[in-house]
Amino acid sequence: MKNKIFYVCQNCGYRSAKWIGKCPSCESWNSFTEEISVDIKKNKNSLSIEKPQLISQVKADTINRYFSKIQEFDRVLGGGIVPGSVILLGGDPGIGKSTLLLQVCSQFPIEDCLFISGEESKQQISMRFRRIYGDRKDLEIFTETNLEEILNVLKTKNCKFVIIDSIQSVHSDQIDGLPGSILQIRECASKLTEFAKQSSTAIVLVGHITKEGNLAGPKLLEHIVDVVLQFEGDKHYSYRILRTLKNRFGSTNEIGIFEMGDRGLMEIKNPSDIFLNNLINTPGVAISCAMEGTRPLLVEVQALVSNSGYSYPQRNSNGFDMKRLQLILAVLEKKLGMNFGNRDVFVNITGGLRVDDTAIDLAVSMAIISSYFETIIPQKAIVIGEVGLTGEIRSVSHIDSRIKEADKMGFQIVILPKLSSSKDFNKSIKPIFVETLNKAFEKIFNSIKYN
């Protein structure tokens, strides 16, 4: 059979018979490369013996998960590693993917685990492992990039947990195309997935991130695997956050927080401690509580409002959605008569954290007001609430956990939406209910009385 040439978008896998500059599917430019179709013969004997079945008749096996004993990692996966699952871990180069996985592996008995690397030499890996554990632990490593060799070794070894660092470095002899091309990645990933399912081996594939910051380049890899994790962090901070983007065995809104130190990654068990500075009494600072999955997390919002030197004032946001910032500025102008037309506004969530929870809207608004008027927000107050388009303060979820966390961290006042359903106030934290931005402004900056 004659091989056919076609063009594939390296970002999303879209196929075209001729070369095109812009992908009609994912709209990325210059992403098409030439590939040659291969005739992959289906095994005729592998006809399925499965039949349609009623859900009630399906036996619900309880899954015995593996625990890495690195609690932040297990929790992000939904409570441990599911046998036979395939996990894709993406992240910027140098963020600590290999380090994290080496540490996870080290928790398993040596015979249960294999770390396969196509990126680093044995010497590099062992140097790093010794830096973390000295001679206290051991691990079996294998530096191979050929898929067939990898599968051969895996078949004889019978491991429970395997790392492939990275999927872009693996290639198969049976497929045309350079290592890292979309055809190679797709085929290698599906072969490894097939092996994982058949042998109940859990496999972690490390994936590179593209220039645009998309996980693992080809989107289609995300469809093949069971779990997609992203390891992220700000290069100016040592904190690293492990996020779930997809999880067939658990929720996708858990995060795990680590700190990169001299001896690898350390788990952060009480994140509220680290994201708060020492609560200095300075204009432009407001503290709020965001939910990250099931965990409340105290965050410090900083804002700076200054006279603009440009005809077009600057808006800059770090860790908070830019569109929401613009919306909040518009509401503040309209409802409180503030004027940002000739002022630059900068917002930052400290600690390199990125917060998507709208419950910190009110804290962002108050930090901006605080910087604008150069007045401080009382030190022991925490601000929770979503800001609506008409300036109303909307209620937020998990209010009780948020209040409890604030109480635990020694806050004395909580400013929260009037419609909050919480009854869980003890004597040490005083609630102040607000229904609009105007009311919040009044209560925080004018007439708050502490006693």
Q: Which is nearer to Mg ion, 165 or 187 (CB)?
A: 165
Candidate ranges 39-47, 128-136, 310-318, 433-441; the one touching ligand TYD (CB under 6 A) = 128-136
Stretch that binds ligand TYD, among 214-222, 241-249, 259-267, 303-311 (CB under 6 A): 259-267
- 3-class DSSP state for residue 327? helix
Report the C-alpha gap between 318 and 325 in whole angstroms.
Answer: 10
> By C-beta, is 122 or 334 nearer to ligand TYD?
122
Give min distance, CB of 406 to ligand TYD, in A: 33
CB atoms within 10 A of CB 213: 10
> Coil, strand, or helix at residue 304?
strand
Q: Which helix (H) or strand (E) holds 123?
A: helix 122-133
Residues that bind Mg ion (CB under 5 A): 98
d(CA 335, CA 451): 30
Question: In the complex with Mg ion, which residue's Cβ is closer, 98 or 272?
Answer: 98
The nearest distance, CB 203 to Mg ion, in angstroms, is 16
Question: Encoding tokens for residue 298?
Answer: 């105290």
> Got the DSSP string for 191-219?
HHHHHHHHHT-EEEEEE-B-TT--BTS-T
Long-range contacts of 195-200 (CB under 8 A, 24+ apart): 195/151, 195/154, 195/155, 196/84, 196/85, 196/86, 197/84, 199/84, 199/154, 199/155, 199/158, 200/83, 200/84, 200/160
Task: Tell me the site size for ligand TYD, rule CB under 6 A.
Answer: 15
Out of 118, 264, 271, 296, the only residue in the binding site for ligand TYD (CB under 6 A) is: 264
Q: How far is the CB of 391 from ligand TYD (least distance, A)?
A: 44
Nearer to Mg ion, 163 or 297 (CB): 163
Instruction: Name the phi and psi angles at 209, rounded to 5.
Output: -110, 140
Q: Does 262 bind ligand TYD (CB under 6 A)?
A: yes
For ligand TYD, give the closer residue by CB, 39 or 262. 262
Binding at 131: pick from ligand TYD, Mg ion, none (beta carbon under 5-8 Å per type): ligand TYD
Q: What is the DSSP string of 60-85?
A: -PPP--B--S-HHHHHHTTSSBPTT-
Side-chain-facing half-sphere of 73: CA atoms under 13 Å = 23
Q: Is 26 in the site for ligand TYD (CB under 6 A)?
A: no
Decide which of Mg ion, ligand TYD, none touches 153; Cβ closer than 5 to 8 Å per partner kind: none
C-beta of residue 435 within 8 angstroms of C-beta of residue 418: yes
Closest CA to 230 of 248, 212, 254: 254
Q: Examine residue 263 and tell whether it contacts ligand TYD (CB under 6 A).
A: yes
Work out whether 98 is an interface residue with ligand TYD (CB under 6 A).
Answer: yes
- At its nearest, how many Å lie between Mg ion and the CB of residue 116? 12
- Binding residue (CB under 6 A) for ligand TYD from 95, 116, 291, 299: 95
Query: Can residue 182 be called a binding residue for ligand TYD (CB under 6 A)?
Result: no
Q: Please give the structure tokens belonging to residue 208.
A: 């590179």
Assess 94 for contact with ligand TYD (CB under 6 A). Answer: yes
Q: Which of 107, 126, 128, 144 binds ligand TYD (CB under 6 A)?
A: 128
Structure tokens at 341: 């037309």
Q: By C-beta, is 164 or 359 nearer to ligand TYD?
A: 164
117 binds ligand TYD (CB under 6 A): no
- We find the least distance from the C-beta atom of residue 130 to ligand TYD, in angstroms, to be 10
User: For residues 98 and 365, which CB has a smaller minimum distance to ligand TYD in the complex?
Assistant: 98
> Please, what is the minimum distance in Å from the beta carbon of residue 204 to Mg ion?
12
Q: Of 170, 184, 179, give the one whose Cα is nearest residue 13.
A: 184
Q: How far is CA 372 from CA 166, 287, 349, in A?
A: 48, 17, 18
Among 26, 153, 260, 304, binds ligand TYD (CB under 6 A): 260
134 binds ligand TYD (CB under 6 A): no
Instruction: Decide if 244 contacts 250 (C-beta within 8 A).
Output: yes
Residues that bind ligand TYD (CB under 6 A): 91, 93-99, 128, 131-132, 260, 262-264
